[in-house]
Each structure stands twice: as C-alpha cells, then as structure tokens.
Structure 1
Amino acid sequence: MTILKYIYKFYIPFILLIIAVTVILSERKPLKTHAGNHFNFNEVYFRKISNIEKEKYLDSIVTSLNNESNDSVSRNLYLKAGEEYYYLNNIRKSFTSSEIALKLSREAKDSSRIAKSLYFIGDCYENSQKDSAYYYYLQAQKIYTLIEDYEKVGRMHFNKAYVLFYDGNFVECEVELTKGLNYLKDSNDVKLLYSCNTLMGNCLEKLFMYEQALKYHQYALGNLKVMKRNNLDSDEVNNFNVSSVINICNLYDLKGEYSKSIKELSAVLTEDLKKKWPRMYASVLSNLAYSKMKNKEYKDVEFMFLESLKIVDSLGYTSDAIYKKIYLGEFYLTQKDTLKSLKNLKEAYTTSVGMNYTNDILKTLRLLTKIDNRKKIFYANRYIDISDSINSIRSRISNKYARIEYETIIVENQNKVLTRKNFYILISSFVIFLILSSIFVFVYLKYKNKELRFVKQQQNDSDEIYQLLSEQNEIINTAKEEEKNKIARELHDGVMNKLYGVRMNLGFFNTKFDDKSIEKRKEYILELQNIEREIRTISHDLSRDSFFEGSDFNTLLSNLIANQNGLSRAKFNYSIEENFDWEQVQNIYKINLYRIIQEALLNIHKYSKALNVEVKIQLLEDKILKLSIIDDGIGFDMNAAKKGIGLSNIKERTNSLKGNLDIRSEAGKGTQIIVMFEIAR
C-alpha cells in the first residue's frame, strides 16, 4: 500500500503526459454522445417473429440510424442488422449495413468494429466472388492480429481456408487451417474447432492423405464429446456426429475398408434421424448402400439407393440427387444392367452440366466412357477437356490468392514508409522521457520503501522483544505468587500451630517445679529450636526471590535452551561471558539472535541425532558478539546437502545484521554454526 501511495503521488503528471501523447499519436476525432438513441435491438421479440417481419424490423432500425450520431451503439446496431440480414439470406442488405458500419468505424478509428465489418463484408462475397471474400477476410485478420484478438485471427484463417477449399486450392487451404488451429488451440469455441478439424480432414482427403485426414476427423469427434459435456443442443450435436461419421466412412471407402464403413453408417441410420433430418438420413442411406455395393453385398442395395433418391427428390435437393444417380448408375453397372446404368448416368450428367458441378461431370463422364461404346470417344475427349480446364483454373486461382496477399503487403509497406520518420522522432522522445522518469521514480520509491521497511522492522523487533519479556515476566510473577502462597501456608499451618501449642504447654508447666514438669519444659524448649530452624529455612526460600528480580534477556535465552532438554536425547548446555550487559544491546540484534538460536535448535532436534549440544555467547574486542552452536551429531556433507529453509533463515538474519555466518560440518563429525556480528550500543 505504501508503494501505491507514492506511485499515485509521483505518477499523476507522468500519466497525464502519456494520455496527451497517446491522443497526439492516434489523432482521434472526438465522438458525439448518443443523446438521441432511445431504442435497442429487442432480441427476444426478434426471435419470435416471422422472417418477413424480421426483415421489416431490421429495415426500421437501419432507417432510424440514418439520423443518429456516430457512436458505438450505432455501429453495433449496423453490424447487428448486417448479421441478421445475412441469416435471412438477404445478402444485398447485409452488405449495405456492414459497409456503413465499416465507414463509421474507420471515421471513429474503432479497430475492433473495423475488423468485424470487414469480416461481415467477406461473408457477403463468399458465394459470389471468392477472391473478394478472401481479400476482406485477409484485411480483418490483419486488424485482429494488431489488436491481439487471436481467436478472431483463427476464425479468419478458417474463413480463408473455406474459400480456398471450395475453389479447389487444397494445398493453400491446408496451410491456412494449420495457422488457424494454432491460434485456436486454447479456444473455448468448440463449434469453431469442430469446423476447422472437419474442414482439415476433408482437405487432406482431397490431397490423398487419408490417414492424416482420418486423424483430424477423430479430433472433430473429440470436439463433439466436449459439446456434449457442455450440454449444447443435443439435436445439433447429433447432426454434427452424423456428418463426421459420413466423412470418416468416405475415407474408409477410399481406403477399401468397406466393412468398417458399413458398421459405422448402420449405427447412425435410425428412424429418429429419418424423422428429424430426412436429407441427412438419405445421405447416410445412399453412402451405406455404396459401401455395401463396393463390398459386394448387393442385397437391398438397389432399394436403398432408390429410397434415398426418392427422399431428396421430394425435398428438392437437386445437388444431392446427382451423386445418388451416379451411385445408382455404378450399381447397375456391377449388375450388368447397362440400360438402367446408362439412363441414370446420363440424367446425372445432364443435371451436373446444367448446375456446372465439374466434379460430378467428371465422375459421370468417366463412367459413361466405360459403358456407352457408341459415344465413348466423345465422352473421353470431353473428360480430358474439362479436366485440363479445371487444372488451368486452379493454377490461376492459386496465383490469384497469392497475389492478393502480396499486393496487400505492398500497400501496407507504402503506408508505413509515409509516417515512419515522424513517428520514430516522436516515439523516441517519448521513450527517452519515459525511461528517465521511470528510473527516477524507481530509485526514489526504492529508497523510501527501504527506509520504511527498516523503520517497520525496528518497530516489529521492539514489539517482539517486549512480548517475549512480558511473557517471561508473567511466568516469573506466577512462580513468585505460588512461592508466596506456599510460604504463607507453611507459616499458618505449620509454624503458627506449633508455636501456639508450645506456648500453651509452657504456660501450663511454668507454674510447676517438680522434676517431671522441668523435663517437659526442656522438651518444649527443644521444640522452639526446631521451629526456629524451620523459620530459617522459610527465610532462605524467600531470599531466592532475588533471582527473579534480576530477570532480563539472558533469562529468556536460558529458559529457551533449558526447555530443549527432554525434547530429544540431546543434553543442552548454555554459557555466556560473566557480566555480559544485554541492556546495552539494541533490540534488533537481540531478536535476530534469539531467532537464530531457535532455528538452529530446531534443526538439531530434526536432523542431527546429537547427544550433546553447546550454545555459547562471547564478546570479542568489546564490540563483536560471537554465537557458537556446536553439536556432536551425524553432521552432513556441505557439498551434497541442499540448503533447507532453516539454514536459509539463519543466513538471512545474519545478513540483516551485516554479520558473518560460518557453518562447518562433516558426515559423522557433528556440526558447528558460528555467527559473528558487530553490535551497536
């Protein structure tokens, strides 16, 4: 607390200077207050209304914001509107709101919201212009890195990887995912980790690294276990689990391990899945049928393919129907039913061309080349043309994303050069001032703190000496009181009763002069002599009180060492030079000496197994106090032994008195502790 007081006292002008320089460096414009905003986004109401009403509600908020000041509330509302428009699949309005939020955030130099706006704009471009999406994710990533929001940095790497994956750039996708997972390794966002691991598994599958892909899908299943422990939406977790099983079984199929795939897919093919997620059920069903077909288990395979195709057709998922028809065509090919195979493959090919699904086009062309002998050459040439075209496009895409990264770096470097000189001059001056001020304040506070610690230590030592002496005096007073009570009892019960008896009998026999009476008087005179001796004994006991009257620090040490006898087998002996005057020694020396002896005796009891211990205090040259503590115990190897807390405490207290500590010991030859220091009187 004392240090804090001095910091407050001397650092106020210093802190004000830091604030002033920060303002100069940032060149921020003052923000207006949000006096006119009396509305908030009503989350509960918004979740209850229909999608059409949700869009109207968002429109009303955006319209109202046109007349509001540029503050954090307005920027947050624009971003919230952009996010919700995106979920409503109104990409145009989402883009507009996010762009306004970006403009306002840049005016206010609001880094976190600039990054978030760029992130949302990238989402808007994700399905239409992947290079633009990549660019905005990259810009957001750089700002998140500057503000050290590393979880968001990891998310931007994932978003970039997602763009690269669906553009067929699997090598760069793997690189981005590796960077993202490195940032997210300690993240609590388990869903994001699940998505990263799943995408990495799919990416490695495309790169034909099946074992590595399987490892990352297993990591994704581990993320699902964490979701279950965190009591997340069980339906959502189950949905994720089915997706992971499908991904893993795809790998089993590629590796030819069809029986594993059949076992895993059969386990998740439930009526509950069919009821809640019919599209997912159809995927599992067709994948299971495919694995059985590849494993040459043809029973019910045709029915399974047809049922899955029927489900997706009824739901309107044309893209799902394409690959199911490809599977079905492949199945009929295994059954030598060329007509049905050709029919399904041609339907799949026509739909794939219409939707421009190049991977499905290539699959159908490859199969059609095998079974349509009349158009075999046509299909083969078409396959080669499309394959070459895809490779050319992927090459250009790879160069395009690398160029985006490179051009971004060039622009950033140019901007840095423009401001670097002035910034260096200002920051150098500021750093020099900061260092000099810090050194001055540090030295001053260190000096004051040392002074305060010394004063406090002196006070504590005085209080401790006083407490120890008070306890000793209380013991002595108690002993004196008990001794007085004992003497009083002896006088009352013994001497007084005897005197009374002798007086009464002498009075009785004093009037008689016969021989018998004379003998009796002699006996009582002898009894008076005995009483005299008893009184003399009591008088000697009383004179021993003078021992207590001279009680001082030496008595305190004597009692400390005497009390050690009986605690172990060791016999403790204490000696001190005659007429050593403790009153002339300052309390700080006495209390440290007392504690050193305590620590040494405790170590002897615990470790030495000594039979004899000698504690000796000497005064050398009238100013050097020498403490010797010698035992005949087992000793220890000075080089091998670790320094325990006891010896460390002894060394620390000796150093505090600017003294010298000498410890000598050998295994089997006992231990000597010599402490010497100059005492101030």
Structure 2
Amino acid sequence: MIFKFKNIFVFLFLCNACLSISQNSVANSKNEDEKVAQLLDHFNNGLYKKAYQQAHALLPTFKFGKSRTNTYLLLAYYHNRYVATDSSIYYTHKALENKHNVSDSLGIRLTILSYQLLALNNKNKGLYEESKNWHIKGAELSEKHNEKNLYYTHLHDLASAYVTLGETKEALELFEKCIKFSDDNEIILGSYINLGAIYSSLLEYDKSNSYLQKAKAICEKDGFRRKASVNILINLGSNYLTRDKDKALSFFYEAKDISFKNKFYNLELNALGEIGNILFNQNKDDEALLIFTETLVKAMQLGNLNIEMNSYLMLEKLSSRKKDYRNAYNYGKKYYQIKDSIDNSITEKEINRLEVKFKTLEKEKTIKSLQIENLNKSLNIKKKEADIERFKLQKTIIAKQNENQVLQLQNGVKKRKNEISLLKEKEAVKAIELDRERTIKYIVLIAFFILLVPIVGLLVIYYQKLQAQSLVNLKEKQINEQQVISLKKDQELKLIKASVRGQDLERKKIAQVMHDSVGGNLAAIKLQFSQLSNHPEKLKLIYRQLDDTYEQVRNLSHNLLPKKIRENDFVFLIKEYVKTVEEASQIAINISIFDEVKINKLNKILQNELFSIFQELTTNTIKYAKAKTIDIQLDYLEDVLFLVYEDDGVGFDTSKTTLGIGLTNIKNRVENYKGVLHIDSKPNRGTNINIEIPLKA
C-alpha cells in the first residue's frame, strides 16, 4: 500500500507563494500580491470552495505572471484534493507555462512542486511509469538546489512508485534512506508503513509487523493520522492473508469504513480490492461480484485506470466461473482496451523522447554549420581589409587629380560672386515688399481685436446665465429629492398601516375561531365533566372532544404561518425575493446556497424567521447603505446554519452607533434559536453580518 502526503505539498506550496509575495515589492503588483495572499489564506483555512471561486474570478484580471502562476497552482491543488486528476494536471501545466515570469529561486521551487503534483496525478490515474519519471526529475532538481524537504518528499514517493512497479530492492534502499536522513515525521511514518508492506510481500511477516508497530506508535502519539491508520490496517490485513483470512477481512473492512467516512477514495479502492480477492478465493462469488462492481464504479469516477482494469479482470474471472460467458467476454474486452491505452501512452512518451533527441542532433548540426560560416566570414573580413588598403592607394591618386579641379573651381567662384551681388539687389527689393505686407497684417490684427472684445463680453454674459441655470437646476433637483423622500415615507406609512390592518383582521379571525370552535368545545367538555360521576360512559366522548380541540388549535397555529412559506420551497422563495429586490433597487445581488435540499426541509417557523431576517437586511441596505453590490451566502454544514451578508455601502461605526429596531429584531430572532449575530462595519468600507444558528439546539 502506498502512503501519500498531500498536506505537506500544500504547506510547501503556501510557503512558496508567500515568499513570492514578500519578495516582490513592485508597486504595480502589490495589489495582485494581496489578492493572491487572500486566496491562499482561504485555502489554508479550509475554505476550498471560496478560494476556488475567487481564483477563477481573479485570473482574467491578473497582469503579472507571478500572480497567475500561484493561482494556477492553487487550482491544481484544489482539483488534486478532490481527485479531479485531469483538471489538476491541466492547471499544473498552466502554472509551469507562466513560470518564466517568476524569479529564479522561486521558479525552481515552483517547478519542483509542479513535478510533485504531476507525479501524484499520474499515480492516481494508474500511470506509474509516468509518475516515476516526474519524481526522478523532482528529486534531481531538489538535490541540485539544496531543497532538502522537497528532495526527501520526492524520494519517498519515488520509492512508492518502485514498489508498485515491482522494483523492491530500489524501494527498500530509498525508504531506509528517508528514515535515516529525513527530519520530517510524515515521511518517516510513510516509510515505516511502506517497509511493512514490502516485507509483507516478501513473506517476512515478523519484520513487516515490527515496522507497522513503529508506524502505529507514531499514529497513536499524534491521534489525528487517520489516513496512516488506514494504511496500517490494510498492511496488517495483508500479513494475515495466509494465516487467518477472517481476521484479514476484519482489518480490510475496518480500513474501508474509515476510508469511506474520511473520503480517502484511493485507499477505499485498495481495501475493496483486497476484500474482493479474499471473497473470490473463498468461492463467495455473489459477494465478490458486488465488491468488484462497487470497486469498478468508484475507480471509473476517480479515473484510476489501474484499479478499473483489475476490476474488469476479476469480473471476467467471476463471470467465467459462473458460466456467464457473454459478460465474461465483455469484461475481458474492456480490460484489454484499458491495458492497450496505458501501453500506448507509455509508447507515445518514448516517441516524444526520441523526437527530442533527434531535434537536439539537428541543433548540433546547425551549430557546426554556423561555426563553418563564421570561419568563412573571418576569411571574408581579411579579404575586405586588403581591399581597404587598395582603396587608400586609389584615394591618393584621386587627391592629385582633385588639385587640378580646385584651380578650375576658383575661377568658377569669381563668376559666382558676381551672381551673388545681383541676387542681393533683388533681395533688397523683396524686403521692401515684405515691410508693406507686414503693415497690412498689423491693420488686420487690430481690426480682429476690436471685434473680439464684444464677442468675449457676450461669452461672459452667456457663461453667467449658464451658472445661474445650473443653480436653478440644482435647487430643482434638491426639491425633487425631498419630494421623493416624502413619497417613500408616505409609502412606508401606508405599508405599515396595511400591515397593522392585516394583523388586526388576523387577530379578529383568530379570536373568532378561538371563541366559536375551541371555546365551544371547551364548554362542552366542561359540561361533560360535571356529569361524569353520573355518566361514566361519557369519558370516551370527552377524549374525542379533547382530540378535536387539540387538532383545531394545531391547525390554527399552523395557519398563522404565511401562505408563501407553507406552500413553497424556501430556496425558491429566497431567490424570487432577491430577483424582485434587484429589479426594484438596481443593486447587483450575488447569492450562494448550500445544501438546498436540507435547507428546504428546515422547520417552517425557522424558515419564516430566516425570510424576515433576509427582508430586514436588504431593506436596511436599500434605505441607508447606498450600496451597489450585495453578497449573500447561506450554508447548512454539520448541523449549523451559516448566513453571511455583505454589502459595499457607506457602512457605519459600530462603536458609536446603537442598533436600530430592524437589527434589534434580527438579534432577538437569532438569540431565540440560541444563535450568534456578529456585525462588522466601518465608514466607507461596507457592512459584513455573520449569523450562526445551531440546528441541534
């Protein structure tokens, strides 16, 4: 059995991401660093879904490669946690693609962690050769850059891969090395468990049990290592396979139950496989068929090709034994299809490796050809130097020829002087003409300024009118706002009066029912009691009248609930109400509800109280907060109801503000159910309200 340590990888990943945030002090990326830090904080505190949703929302907004890299790696760990292997592999490769934008030391750590994730995901898919290759790459890179913890983590999982591939000797050496030199208790514990499994496979049960006992002691000392306990149980069961199959079955069933409760899906598959093999060897075909069918379904859900293939093989054998040859043929066909797909994937990797070698050889050839070209270029340079010397000689010859030409030019200069004197006379005439044109331009400019002054005056008067008009518009706007506020108050008063009238009518209706039905029944019962001594046979009649009165009171209390609460699902009502508020107020409302089925099954009275709380909170936001967005999250987790309500409005100072009637009503409703209300708000920072209601209480 192979023992894994995802918690260590998550911890190392968080350390790496936090280091990358602290080392980058560039102002433009500081905001992105804070957002990534918040994502990691959510993930580290167990808010995996929230971290996942925010990561997807923030990814398109990130401009820096470092932020995208850390976010991709977080998403890879999220999918690895829930055994979504293909998604985890995809996001790991995306992180590696963005790695070139991260500094060298951090880029190395990120690469090592990415290799670790790729190895784990390939192991989950049953591609052990591929997993081994990634572990070897990670170990080599860790040792080269002195990353001790990461080195022994890769070394431990590489040994686990060796075990799966049957390379026992190499696995023993690596596990012993981890125990001797690693400082990490998790790695030491895993090594003890795996050594126990290896010696069990070698039929050295005493050695196996000694290592397993050491592992068990570490688990008992810690008290929270359920996954390690499952591995120990599976290995102990394996040790008893040849000596006491019933005891082995009890170990495997216990391991299966713990794995199922704690969602250790791969360990559960291993335990189911062992149980199925024992039942198969005991000729309990019907029980074995059920076990391997369950194993097949779960292996297909997890994408574990190796266990899926083994399940098809065992189902083929069981069908053959039961002489169901048609199903045996179908199971065998599917077994070989999966086996061929695994072999083909390994072959493709080998082809890619050969292709890389071919490309490197081609590059070496091009380098050699470039070297030859460089030699030819150096020879050409020498030839050019010789040509330059020849050119210099030609220059001296040309210089002598130029002396004769200079004499000819001097004669030409005299002629040009005469031409220049003529040109100067022409320029003087042109200067007189330019002076006349300038005077004309000055006259035009003066006329323009004379016209400009009245135009400017008109513009000033127009501007003053605009200002006066804007003041009038502002006053009209203020008057309109006051009218709107007064209209809102009138509407609120009308609503309150309508509510009071409705309550009065309801009270009259209740009083009438109490007087006509319940009061009449009680009067009749009282009369029957007065005659009970003379007519004891009327006791049964009294019981019937009491039952009838109880049923009337029960129906009356039930009818007090609003009709919409009694006749509709609560989640539907909340979403309809949110939609109505959005359309009326133009506020964007984001709502998330989990587990909708359980919430719909809550007590109707509690649902009515929750609906009132929703109405009060949204009404306060619309009236006072001036918010643009509201985020609501309602979760039913572990018999506790969580309500988180956030808005981005103006907020208020909780230390200086007393609770109004609305919030006081909410507080009383929550305390009636022994719940907790927490309000977090500051001016210009919005309001955050958290409510927790224990449903058991």
Give the TM interval when normalised to the shorter protein.
0.3 to 0.5
Larger Rg belongs to: 1
Relative to its length, the structure with more helix (as a share) is 2
How high is the TM-score relative to the length of structure 2?
0.39
